[in-house]
């Protein structure tokens, strides 16, 4: 499974494109698809301090990215890219009609990346310990 992602990098790039499209589309594509209403946003679980939808999206994107690019120098560059992407996409929503910048969304984005970084840090540490 792990080698599958490193062989097919287009999966990570496709996930990036889908995420960017969903973030920058004026309105909710998922709400339009599920509820036939661009103003409704589907909610997976209730929000706490952070937006859980954003948290889940960035955990998935980060895990796919870290499985795709497994070398140490790629891990650091990818971590910086994902944090930068999460900030830029959220700030851009301020300028898009029917979208809004929210700190809970931004914190959800960054928390998703950080959770994935921590998981893969311990995964890599354990992997090095076995060798």
- Three state DSSP letters for 45-89: CCCCCCCHHHHHHHHHHHHHHHHHCCCHHHHHHHHHHHHHHHHHH
Q: Which helix (H) or strand (E) holds 16?
A: helix 10-24
Interval 25-59: pLDDT, tens: 887 887 777 788 777 777 777 778 888 889 999 99
What integer is the mean pLDDT of 49-77? 89
Range of the domain at 83: 2-130
pLDDT of 118 higher than 90: yes
* pLDDT tier for residue 122 given thresholds of 50, 70 and 90: confident
Q: What is the pLDDT of residue 37?
A: 79
Tally of structural domains, the chain? 1
Assess whether pLDDT exceeds 60 at residue 125.
Answer: yes
């Amino acid at each position: 499974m792990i080698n599958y992602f490193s062989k097919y990098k287009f999966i990570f790039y496709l996930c990036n494109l889908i995420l960017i499209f969903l973030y920058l589309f004026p309105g909710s594509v998922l709400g339009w698809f599920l509820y036939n209403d661009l103003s409704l946003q589907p909610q997976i679980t209730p929000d706490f301090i952070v937006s859980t939808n954003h948290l889940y999206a960035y955990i998935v994107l980060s895990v796919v990215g870290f499985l795709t690019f497994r070398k140490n120098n790629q891990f650091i560059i990818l971590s910086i890219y994902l944090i930068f992407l999460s900030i830029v996409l959220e700030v851009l929503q301020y300028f898009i009609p029917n979208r809004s910048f929210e700190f809970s969304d931004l914190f959800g984005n960054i928390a998703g990346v950080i959770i994935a970084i921590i998981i893969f840090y311990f995964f890599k540490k354990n992997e090095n310990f076995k060798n």
